[in-house]
Copies of this chain bind each other. A is one copy, B any other.
Amino acid sequence: MNRYLIVFLLLFTVPSLYAQVIGEKHYPPFVIVPLGVRGGLDESNLSSYMVAAGGTDDYICLDAGTLFAGIQKAVDNHVFQGPASAVLRSRIKVYFISHPHLDHVAGLIINSPEDTAKNIYGLPSCLNVIRDKYFSWQSWANFADDGEKPQLKKYHYAPMTPGQPEKIAGTSLTVKAFPLSHGTNYESTAFLVENGGRYLLYLGDTGADTVEHSNRLHQLWEAVAPLVKTGQLSAIFIETSFPNEQPVKSLFGHLTPDLLMQELAALNKTAGTEDLHQLSIIITHRKPSGNQEETIRRQLEGHNPLKVRLVFPEQGRMMGF
């Protein structure tokens, strides 16, 4: 063989082989693009997280408080190529909604006229409120396939059964739902996302078991403890809405830094681990009143006995776990 041809082949084949064999090993199991990270008030930045298997562009969207404005921020940061509405249409494959408070679902409703056909996953308690209160022809056109007629049938409601895994078509992800308590008689949801034996856990708004007089978090910790022990669970997205000064009677089903650490201690005990230093805890839903966001960060960093990796997500900035 001509030696120039050999050099030519090496030059063009080896980098491609490298990308396939070596390069792909560098993809993290999950890539996340936060579309909104604040716990209320700021309509431009409300809870929503796009999650894909590393190395793919096929995202599920966990909660949908803000979509368009968050995607626009990600486009500005060169995470996606715009326009924002094209990213919304083609990159987001399905929605998972943790609970139907408006700050977790407003973006989905408001963007529905421009969206493509998708499934909306959630517990029945959540999907029923979306059906009856938002896609109702009085609040909005009914873009879904249940509820008030005419039904425009762009969205399909996909009710979940707690603990039963759902394979998400068009992705390599599987998702399980676990019910949470978010104030008296109000159900929220945690989603456990799996990609090839690696896990990410996302919790919607939730109070602590002690405050909620509930065992929902205890049950969730029991379910994920084996994954913590083996190191298969790399990240937990969990709220810390208020600083420690918030009176217990004004928690409204939310966590403080101390209550979060108390719940993580319960997880650590259930898992039988020494500490949780291998776990990334992504702090969601800090309420932006006054200086509260900074106070919450300071309180968490100042008292972290289990040595978790505290992460404060930024709107439109990609993360990998």
- By a beta-carbon cutoff of 8 Å, the part of chain A in contact with chain B is 40-46, 66-69, 72, 83, 85, 100-103, 106-107, 109-111, 113-114, 129, 132-134, 136, 138-141, 252, 289-290
Q: Which residue of B lies closest to A128 (CB)?
A: B138
From A45, A102, A107, residue with most partner B Cβ within 10 Å? A102
Residues of the B chain whose Cβ atoms lie less than 8 Å from the Cβ of A101: 139-140
**Docked complex Cα distance between A46 and B138 (Å):** 18
- Which residues on the B side are within 8 Å of A85 (C-beta)? 41, 289-290
User: Can you give 22 A-B contacts (C-beta < 8 A)?
Assistant: A40-B113, A41-B85, A41-B110, A42-B69, A43-B66, A43-B68, A43-B106, A43-B107, A43-B110, A44-B66, A44-B68, A44-B69, A85-B290, A102-B109, A102-B110, A102-B140, A103-B110, A114-B289, A129-B139, A133-B136, A134-B139, A141-B252
Q: Which residues of B contact A111 (CB under 8 A)?
A: 41
Given contacts A83-B290, A290-B83, contact A134 B102 (CB under 8 A): yes
- State which of B43, B100, B129 has its C-beta within 8 Å of the C-beta of A46: B43
User: For residue A291, which residue of chain B has the nearest CB?
Assistant: B83
> 5 tightest A-B contacts by CB?
A44-B44, A44-B69, A129-B138, A133-B139, A133-B133
Q: Contacts A114-B289, A136-B133, A140-B102 hold; do A69 and B83 have CB atoms under 8 A apart? A: no
CB distance from A65 to the nearest CB of B (A): 8
Q: Assess A102 versus B290: contact at CB under 8 Å? Given A42-B69, A43-B68, A110-B41.
A: no
Contact B43 A67 (CB under 8 A): yes
Docked complex Cα distance between A139 and B140 (Å) = 14
> Which residues on B sit within 8 Å (CB–CB) of A136?
133
**Smallest beta-carbon distance A253→chain B, Å:** 11
Interface centre among A40, A42, A67, A290 (most CB of B within 10 A): A42
- Asked whether, in the complex, the Cβ of A114 is within 8 Å of the Cβ of B41, the reply is yes
Could you say which residues of chain B place their CB within 8 Å of the CB of A133?
Answer: 133-134, 136, 138-139
Q: How far is the CB of A248 from chain B (nearest CB, A)?
A: 17
CA distance A109 to B114 in the complex (A): 23
Beyond A43-B106, A46-B110, A69-B69, 11 additional contacts (C-beta under 8 Å) are A40-B113, A41-B113, A43-B46, A44-B69, A45-B69, A83-B290, A102-B109, A102-B139, A129-B138, A134-B139, A141-B252
